[in-house]
Structures are given as structure tokens and as C-alpha cells.
Amino acid sequence: MKADGIEDEGKPDFRIVDRRLKLDLNEDRIILLIRSALLDDATNISEKLGALQAEISVDDENGVWIALEVELWPEDKDPAQALAVAEILGLEVELETISSTIPFAWPGLGEIASSTSEYTQMMLDAYAQYGGLPDKKANAL
């Protein structure tokens, strides 16, 4: 008889626990790796924004679809690291360029800025020059 009053019927009172780490490469994790590789490929602020804004999906047939904004990622630039990661994972890649609404005007500023803080200041200055800064009171609502 066991301490909790349940009859053990002569069976051993233990269980086997497999503590080995198991890799679960689900869609979200694959997308995270591909996006990280796109950031590796980015050489300026515009391309980093393009990597962060990229539309990425994984299908059930070992394929990954990457759509890069044409205003943020040069059409003639292959994302070498993203392609390498996909190859390591055994995924076929379909690259597309898309034209959508970009987050900020003057995407070319990101090509000449050396940091995100410099880009942010340049962008704010450009918006201020053209009267496009939002009213701070309106933003507080």
C-alpha cells in the first residue's frame, strides 16, 4: 500500500522523464530566424526598417515567402543571410518586392543616416520643415 492509501498493485512507482531539449521549428520561430537574418543583411536604417516591416510566411510544403517593401529594400539586393538561413532549414524561398504604405515619408533619409537616433532627428526635422509634425495635444488623446 502507498502512503496516499492507493493500492500500488506491485507496479513500480516512477516515471521516465526525457529531459533532452527538443527543437520545435514552428512557423513563428522560422519567421523570427528569417527576420533576424534580414537584419544581418541590412546595411542602413532604411533596410533595417524594411527587414522589420517585411511580410514573411511559411507554408506547409517547406517554403518561405518573403515580401520586401520596394521603398525600404533595394530591388537588386538579395538578402544573402536570409537565403542562407532558409537553405540551412531546408526551405525554398520565394522573394517578392511589394509597394505598400511605408511608415515614414522620405525613406531615403535612412540610407544616409548612421543610426536610428540620427534618422529619427532627420525625419522629425523634415516633417517640421513641411509642417507635418502632429499636434502634441492631439497625440495625448
Amino acid at 126: A
In percent, how much of the chain has pLDDT > 90? 62
Q: Which of 119, 87, 107, 30 is nearest to 78 (CA)?
A: 87
What distance in Å separates the CA atoms of residue 94 and residue 58, rounded to the nearest whole number? Answer: 10
State the residue for C-alpha cell 512557423. 27
Contact between 52 and 72 (Cβ < 8 Å): no
What mean pLDDT is reported for the chain? 87
pTM across the whole model:
0.78
Query: Averaged in consecutive runs of 10 residues, what is the pLDDT profile of the chain (141 residues)?
Result: 58 78 90 98 96 95 94 94 97 94 86 93 90 63 42
Contact between 121 and 110 (Cβ < 8 Å): no
What distance in Å separates the CA atoms of residue 79 and residue 135, rounded to the nearest whole number? Answer: 39
Contact between 63 and 92 (Cβ < 8 Å): yes
Q: What is the pLDDT of residues 32-51, one digit of tens each?
A: 999 999 999 999 999 999 99
Contact between 99 and 69 (Cβ < 8 Å): yes
Task: Tell me the chain's radius of gyration from C-alpha atoms.
Answer: 25
Strand-pairing partners, residue 96, are 67
The x, y and z cell numbers of residue 96, run together, are 517578392
Q: What is the pLDDT of residues 11-35, one digit of tens each?
A: 767 778 888 888 888 999 999 999 9
Beta-strand pair 55-58/63-69: antiparallel
